[in-house]
Amino acid sequence: MFSVFSADKYLRFYLIIPAIVLLLLLTLFPIVYILYFSFFEYSSNVDVPHQFIGLENFKRLFVDEAFHNALKNTIFFTVVAVSIEFALGLGFALLVMNFIEKVSIIKTILLIPMMIAPIAVAITWKFLYAPFVSPFNHLMMKLGQAPILFTSDVKLAMPSIIFVDIWQWTPFIFLMMLAGLASLPKEPYEAAQIDGASAWQQFRDLTWKFLQPVIIITLLLRIMDAFRLFDQVFILTRGGPASVTDTLSFHIYKVAFRFWDIGWAAAMSLFMLAVTLTISIWFVGKLNVEK
Amino acid sequence: MKLIKFLSCVLSLVFISSYVYAITVIVPNGGEGDGLRAAAKDYTALTGVEVEFVQAPYEQVFDKAANAANTKSGSYDIVLMDDPWIPFFAENGHLAEMGPYFDALGVDGPDNDFLGKSMAICRNPYNSGPYVCIPYVGNAQMFFYNTAAFAEAGLDGPPADWDSVHAAMQKISASGSFGYVLRAQEGNPVVAQYMPIFWSFCGKLFDENRNATVNSPEGMKALEFFLKLRDVSPPGAASMNQEETGQYILQGMAKSTINWPNWVTNFEDPSQSNVVGEMTYAAIPSGDCAGSSEIGHWALGIASASKNQQAAFDFIHWASSKEQIDISAGRGNPPVRFSTFTNPELTSQAKFRHFPVLMEAINYSTPRPRHPKWPELEQVFGVYLSKAVAGVMSPKEALDKANAELDKILK
Amino acid sequence: MLKNNLKKPIVFLSIVFALLYTLFPFLYMISVSFKVKKDIFAMPPKYFNFNPTLEHYWYTFFDQIPFFKFMINSFIVTSVSTILALIIGTLAGYSLSRFRYPGTLKYHIAFWILSTRMMPPIIVVIPIFIFFSYFNLVNTRLALIIAYTAFNIPFVTWMMRSFFLDIPKELEESAMVDGDTRMGSFRRIILPLAKPGLAATSIFCLILAWNEFLFAVILTETEASNTVTFAIALGVSQYQANWGYMAASSTISVIPIIIFAFIVQKHLVRGLSFGAMKG
């Protein structure tokens, strides 16, 4: 079957065309569609056509409070969650790096949270956050206190979501850092020790520099994923209470599927796409693609 | 060659289709969906028509039904709709009119055994237009309270007005439990909880010109009382939904609430409840105006994009008949027929002792405004109410902002 | 000296703590899945002294919920989309690893392929739904297969490209000098060498497809195509969250993944970093 293509100088293109076609389906068509609808006001009524409203939806990006709230929440979540995960992951990797290679089963267990379905993670934590089912609240009630409403309290809801994300993704950072640390060259450290450098100096001048590529990849992957947080919000808080956990993805979902204001959802989606593309460009640049 | 064989083997797996059903129904999780599903089993045994059920969480029933409607996919023939959704589907032309199907049977429409208010919500325009659905579950809110606890706190006789009831609640909260449990999660939950109180303080959502009037003086009074209820409720009201508030009552930690009648079965079920037989189910107390519960029926509608409308109608007609509604009531779904509410076989049982009160509640209930954008209106209003309950906004600010947002949507 | 003596117990303790912290949520959920409803809410709580019941598992599989059907759907969609993605992506990765492209075309194609992986699914969900409904493909397994294949292609392409870059070009070239064709040498020499890469990649594809939630919920409507992730969400309802069912169904859906995790542990780093780093 393969022999048909052997001598063809266009072989390289034949090989890649199926991929390109399928991906076009996933990217080009949706973007065109979204672009189109962002200029309209969608109508759910079978008798009323969609109304052309020009740039109204885009103007709304500047004034809509709910959208700004979602954007703010998403940025806050991304920055805080990824920072904490990074600090914990790197710290833990530094701590255990010489001990853990030998017992790989431990590594595997620690990685389970990020392998299972995000929705399963969300449900697992729904149990731990629920007022009457959670062991923490059992403890509270035994002590005579009211149950803590993790996902119901305006001040606690976002930290609760952040905590779930930390639980789920710190292993990822841990693993990447561990791999990076495992491939550090030995000589610079030996030289540094001979020169009498302290542990902190070694870390600052050597480790940190050598880990740069790994850190960049890891951080960027995490930032991308954190930016589009959906499943946990959907299961745990549904954007509440009082919209404090309303993230961009969830907000777009609400506007699209609850209010059927597709035009406005499209405009917000384009905004999200622009941000995502910007970060992607930087990421790919760092990955040294052959030209 | 082997590769091709393998691929075709694999692809054929893809196309093994499942049984082709005659009609497909989408229902919510929980008692309403379970009841209809059980009825459908009987229907299939009776007529041989296969009925496929899609059960989804509450919010997603709307999402998916609206999705199917907007894209005219016809995936669902019948939708079991919560009352607030009916205007959206009806006014956007997504429900098939039932008139022609009733004509084929030789009748004008649904029979007179249905309660008036129950029928009214299924007509588009409200109470006057053609029928677009048939009511199935007769929900109207009631005031649930623990008889003994309130008697001890000084409430003699059925709760008639909010002030005396609230005084009793305060006494209860002072002595260890909670006088009330407030359901204030943003969106539909808090609005459903708020409306009976709003109406009992003479509040109106819109005036005749469809301008929002939630921040009227009556509205302010209502919200202030609502916050008083929060103060005698367990903390965290701003995110409680049915699940949490139900538990507080089931465990006996809170002594009253406004809720939907389907919870009666839970409260009377010894395997779940610590308060079997202790609750009284009453009408909503009055404020400056008569107490009025929110009607929240579930109704069966035929999707206008459905390709099996006649079969769908036959099933709906059967499922809403007298015998079937009796059986459905026996399963715990509040009925919509006068004869069922007064059926001695049912009312003689302790767990249906609330039927007379419920029927009264339905007859004196107020429907939610019939506006096609109600889901959005409800959501926005709910966000601000919840913020007021959470203490994030002052009542005045919340109502003023809500009013402005509602006006924008009503445009 | 002292530092070293202190370090070992600290490390040991922190590893133990990390393990507990990771496992405790699961263990709790699994225990809930075996409790009777009243026990789940019992005050004082019953952690070890409850009578275990299989009623939630019974409910999941045999009562009301066609869970077997959901699992079959998940299984079919996951495996077919993985196979298709492997085929298409491997060929594309090979092309990117071995050949020269005119101008900067390669960079642009590679970037575009990677960026599709970065796209938030919520953006494309409605257009994809509309697209599929034109072709009457909504509520079919085929729709999910197409979608998941498309999701996985960027990942496979980048992974396999990285694996192929590790295999010296000389191998095919010497085979071709001996008279073999380009694709023949690909099939006979390169592919066998890339087997570990294929294995690792396929497992990530399987995991992604099995875990996917948003499309599984929106593109499917009835049991003809509902998947396991949708089934788990069924337990979350406005009125009464069905805790026992949620616990049981989540536990069931998680077990295959845990098994996979043990199989794939060697390849995790490479897979997670898109082949940019070796584990």
pLDDT, one tens digit per residue, over B213-236 is 888 999 999 999 999 999 998 877
Q: Which residue has the higher pLDDT, B392 or C240?
A: B392
> Can you give the C-alpha Rg of chain A in angstroms?
24
B343 touches chain C (CB under 8 A): no
Res. B339 pLDDT band, cuts 50 70 90? very high
Q: Which residue has the higher pLDDT, A24 or A11?
A: A24
Do A263 and A283 touch, CB atoms closer than 8 A?
Answer: no
Q: How far is A208 from chain B (nearest CA, A)?
A: 43
Distance CA B270, CA B116 (A): 34
DSSP at B334: P
A74 CB-side CA count, 13 A: 24
Do B369 and B121 touch, CB atoms closer than 8 A?
Answer: no
Query: What class is the C60-268 domain?
Result: mainly alpha
The total number of residues written for chain A in this structure: 291
Burial class for C165, CB neighbours closer than 10 Å (0-12, 13-18, 19+): middle
Distance CA B187, CA A128 (A): 24
Amino acid making up residue B58: Y
Nearest chain C residue (CA) to A168: C22
* Residues C97-136 pLDDT 10s: 888 777 788 778 877 887 787 788 888 887 888 888 778 7
Structure tokens at B208: 């005749």
Which H or E element spans position C94?
helix C67-98
Strand partners, A220: none
Contact flag B239-A149 (C-beta cutoff 8 Å): yes
Model ipTM value? 0.80
- What average pLDDT does the segment C138-166 reach? 86
* Residues A13-35 pLDDT 10s: 888 888 888 888 878 888 898 89
Distance CA B73, CA B307 (A): 10
Q: What is the pLDDT of residue A3?
A: 46
Asked which of A277-286, B31-40, B357-366, C212-221 is least confident by mean pLDDT, the reply is: A277-286
B88 touches chain A (CB under 8 A): yes
Give pTM, 2 decimals.
0.83
Do B305 and B387 touch, CB atoms closer than 8 A?
Answer: no
Distance CA C75, CA C77 (A): 6
Structure tokens at B180: 């009330």
Res. C241 pLDDT band, cuts 50 70 90? low
Nearest by CB to residue C110, choosing from A22, A112, A289, is A289
Q: Is the pLDDT of residue B389 over 50?
A: yes
The total number of residues written for chain C in this structure: 279
Structure tokens at B54: 């899609």
Nearest by CB to residue A256, choosing from C126, C181, C241, is C126
Q: What is the mean pLDDT of chain A?
A: 82
Q: What is the pLDDT of residue A290?
A: 38
Distance CA C274, CA C151 (A): 14
Q: Where are the domains of chain C?
A: 24-53, 60-268
Q: Position of tokens 């699914």?
A: C121
Closest CA to B31 of B356, B330, B350, B346: B330
Distance CA C151, CA B107 (A): 55
Do B137 and B114 touch, CB atoms closer than 8 A?
Answer: no
Q: How far is C42 from chain A (nearest CA, A)?
A: 8
Number of other CB atoms surrounding residue A164 within 10 Å: 28
Q: What is the pLDDT of residue B394?
A: 92
Q: What is the pLDDT of residue A2?
A: 45
The residues, any chain, with a CB within 8 Å of residue A85's CB and separated by 6 or more, are A165, A166, A169, A170, A172, A173, A222
Structure tokens at C56: 């939630």
Q: Give chains near B: 3+ CB pairs under 8 A.
A: A, C
* Residues B245-291 pLDDT 10s: 888 888 888 999 998 888 888 888 887 788 888 888 888 998 888 88
Q: Is the pLDDT of residue B13 over 80?
A: no
Asked which of A146-150, A163-167, B392-396, C78-82 is least confident by mean pLDDT, the reply is: A146-150
Q: Which residue has the higher pLDDT, B112 or B5?
A: B112
Burial class for B9, CB neighbours closer than 10 Å (0-12, 13-18, 19+): exposed
B31 touches chain C (CB under 8 A): yes
Any idea what the Cα angle at residue C130 is, between residues C124 and C132, rounded to 5°?
A: 95
Which H or E element spans position B43?
helix B31-47
Structure tokens at C55: 């009623």
Structure tokens at B159: 């709760």
Q: Position of tokens 């009916």?
A: B86
DSSP letters spanning A66-112 = HHHHHHHHHHHHHHHHHHHHHHHHHHHHHHHTTTSTT-HHHHHHHHH
Strand partners, A41: A51
